[in-house]
């Protein structure tokens, strides 16, 4: 669990950085196969989780729009 919490903190700083820095860091991870696989798995998992969260938000806002109609 410690690894996951460290990674999620890293992910937040990762997102706030410019696109070029992100590319360089991803490329750097590719040099270390084992670590690269771990990072990719974590990123895939987080992407799916974030997409689920976005779908949930859009559904709830759609419901509130319908309720607002007379």
Mention every residue, 6+ apart, whose C-beta is less than 8 A from residue 39: 7, 29
Q: Which domain holds residue 36?
A: 16-68
Q: What is the pLDDT of residue 5?
A: 46
Residue 8 lies in a domain: no
Angle at 22 (CA atoms; ends 17, 28), nearest 5 degrees = 140
Is residue 58 included in any domain, yes or no?
A: yes
What are the helix and strand counts (H, E) for the chain? 3, 0
How much is the pTM? 0.18
Q: Does some domain include residue 60?
A: yes
Predicted pLDDT at 27? 53
CB-based contact 61:67 (threshold 8 Å): no
Query: What residues in the chain have per-residue pLDDT under 50?
Result: 1-6, 29
For the chain, the helix, strand and coil percentages under 3-state DSSP, each to the nearest 5: 90, 0, 10
């Amino acid at each position: 669990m410690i690894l996951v919490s460290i990674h999620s903190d890293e992910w937040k700083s990762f997102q706030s950085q410019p696109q070029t820095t992100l590319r360089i860091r991803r490329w750097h991870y590719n040099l270390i196969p084992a670590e690269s696989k771990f990072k990719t798995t974590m990123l895939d998992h987080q992407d799916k989780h974030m997409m689920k969260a976005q779908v949930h938000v859009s559904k709830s806002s759609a419901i509130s729009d319908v309720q607002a109609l007379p």
